[in-house]
Amino acid sequence: METTNIRMAEITSKKPMYREAIAEGTIYLKESTVERIKDKTLEKGDPISTAEIAGILAAKQTSQLIPLCHPIPITNVKIDMFLEGNSIRSQCKVKSIGQTGVEMEALAGVSIALLTIWDMVKPYEKDEQGQYPDTSITNIRVIKKFKESEEENESEKSSSESLRTKT
């Protein structure tokens, strides 16, 4: 049996710096399901609040879900949900001060948030054959990624060091 060259990315020598990523995705539902969500008449409860919590938990557990993802020190996760016609768009913003980016955490957060909504609306989305002809999750993608530059990081360290030496 041949072995593969699967390994984690080596980040030991990378300097910790502020990183941020925003991912989004959309779930399309029947109009009647969206009305039930607005009217808060779903049997399982409020899918928006539940999806927000699930997305936060998923972002925090990304390294447990994706084998080669580094466990990173997440400093904040925020899930926003937007009702738009017969769809719900979710955005997940993740922040960290670490050695690697947070795109996978943002993607995991938005994906699980949308899957949670699907799970909670299944009975209302099925057709007579038990299929989901009107339900889809689409356009999951990173819409913004930010990393503090080395110069900004060094400049910030220098100014905080000079503040410490003056006091």
Residues with a known catalytic role: 119
SS3 content of the chain, % helix, strand, coil (to 5): 40, 30, 30
Rounded Cα distance between 18 and 34, Å, is: 37
Q: Are 120 and 40 in contact (CB under 8 A)?
A: no
CA distance to 105, 128, 158, per residue, from 60 (Å): 7, 38, 31
